[in-house]
Structure 1
Amino acid sequence: MQDFVLEKTNYTCKKGQQFMIEGAPMQGLYFIYKGKVKVLKTGIYGKEQIVRLTTDGDTLGFRGFGTSNRYLIAASAIEDTVLCNFSNDVMHSILKSIPEFTYDMMLFYAEELNKSENRVKKIAQMNVRERVIDILLYLLKKFGHTNNLLNINLSRKEIADFAGTTDEQVTRILSSLKKEGVIKIVNKKIGLLQVDKLNAEIIEHK
């Protein structure tokens, strides 16, 4: 594996920079060394939908690998992010020569497919408030918190794009949750004060 590691290319993406374009020919797989990235699909009327948020150690671009050979999603940095890229040829060589890695990738694909199916189910069954709460809990689990504030700072639009709703709805729901004392908002950063209460509100969808 060490020989293949020497074949990787490192990139630094600035906050807001898009480095994968939906429908573009694949240029290999990306692995996040450090940073945070949002994964996007373009929906009806060109509206962007955030389908996944990623951070250190996560893999990007795998869904187009070996099928259409085109990226099925877009990706852009939420903050300054360091990536490493393995070209298509290098990835094919790795998969053919290192069975353990291929097996791990197969398990990873299966887990991501399961997560994707569960997310589609939740979006179909949850109301907007429940979807926003579910995302807040997801952010806590995925990125953690410091001083009761989430370690990721998404705009209201980004939360809306993830929840499949509008900025106005998100602002209204966050304001309501703040009044209820279950979250706090400090300089636009969100903190979860009563996680048990938030979990209880969406327990039937778990």
Structure 2
Amino acid sequence: MRGIITDCANCLNTNCFIKKHLHLEKMQDFVLEKTNYTCKKGQQFMIEGAPMQGLYFINKGKVKVLKTGIYGKEQIVRLSSDGDTIGFRGFGTSNRYLIAASAIEDTVLCNFSNDIMHAILKSIPEFTYDMMLFYAEELNKSENRVKKIAQMNVRERVIDILLYLLKKFGHTNNLLNINLSRKEIADFAGTTDEQVTRILSSLKKEGVIKIVNKKIGLLQVDKLNAEIIEHK
């Protein structure tokens, strides 16, 4: 990864946890100690089980968060974009990253080291309280997703992911603003590349999606939502 410099004061990511607390007086000193990196497409910047090197905040780009499953198979547990926090699950507990993360596209990262994060938590009560609420919300999301996925068949899981991608990344000209390989969709849905390919082909024939140069567009979002409505 290559180091660069970004300015938190001029950051446009209003959903970034650091940006939300930039108005607090003591935060001004801490943000000057952060480190920035650029991460090329496909480059891994966090290794599952490795010692923690602090928390990462995405300045610009897209990242897939991975967990090793049975027989060493990778499972995508989350997709993250501008302003999202990466690596928080292992912070303050195991002191090791519980997940891996790699860039889906060229990505700019902000890193706050373990020492900086501990200093912020010990000296800024409002930040600490809000981080506790953040952890609680993320845990709730994770539990709800596990419950939902367990009750879905493979087709429903793929549809759910397509709708998630639309909500998370939006679309341009009816094409999703993220280009995942069939393998990546399969790793997210907990299935195989072949099953994903068959399901996408079926959805295309039904006229609810389109595929242009391997990019996916959702043509009939209402129909897709209707198919998984009982799981929401």
| Deviation string, structure 1 residues 35-93 (Cα, Å, up to 9, x no partner) | 00000000010000000000000001101011000000000000000001000000000
Residues 115-137 of structure 1, C-alpha deviation per residue, up to 9 Å, x if partnerless? 11111112211000000000000
> What is the aligned partner in structure 2 of residue 14 from structure 1?
40
Residue of structure 1 equivalent to 2:132: 106
Q: Secondary structure at the match of 1:176?
A: helix
Q: How many residues align?
A: 206
2:107 to 81, 84, 92: 81
More displaced 10-residue stretch of structure 1: 58-67 or 116-125: 116-125
Q: 1:190 Cα shift?
A: 0.4
* CA distance in structure 2 between the aligned counterparts of 1:27 and 1:76, rounded to whole angstroms: 15
Q: Distance in 2 between matches of 1:146 and 1:106?
A: 36
**Cα deviations across residues 86-117 of structure 1 (Å, max 9, x unaligned)?**
00000000011112211221121111111111
Which 5+ residue runs of structure 2 have no aligned equivalent?
A: 1-26
Normalising by structure 1, what TM-score?
Answer: 0.99
**1:142-167, CA deviations, whole angstroms, 9 ceiling, x for partnerless residues?**
00000110000000000000000000
String of CA shifts for 1:180-202, please: whole Å, max 9, x gaps. 00000000000000000000000
Q: Distance in 2 between matches of 1:101 and 1:193?
A: 42
Between the aligned partners of 1:56 and 1:102, the Cα distance in structure 2 is: 22
Residue 185 of structure 2: aligned partner = 159
TM-score by length of 2: 0.88
Cα RMSD of the aligned pairs, angstroms, is 0.6
Runs of 5+ unmatched residues, structure 1: none
Deviation per CA, 1:15-39: give whole Å up to 9, x if none: 0000000000000000000000000
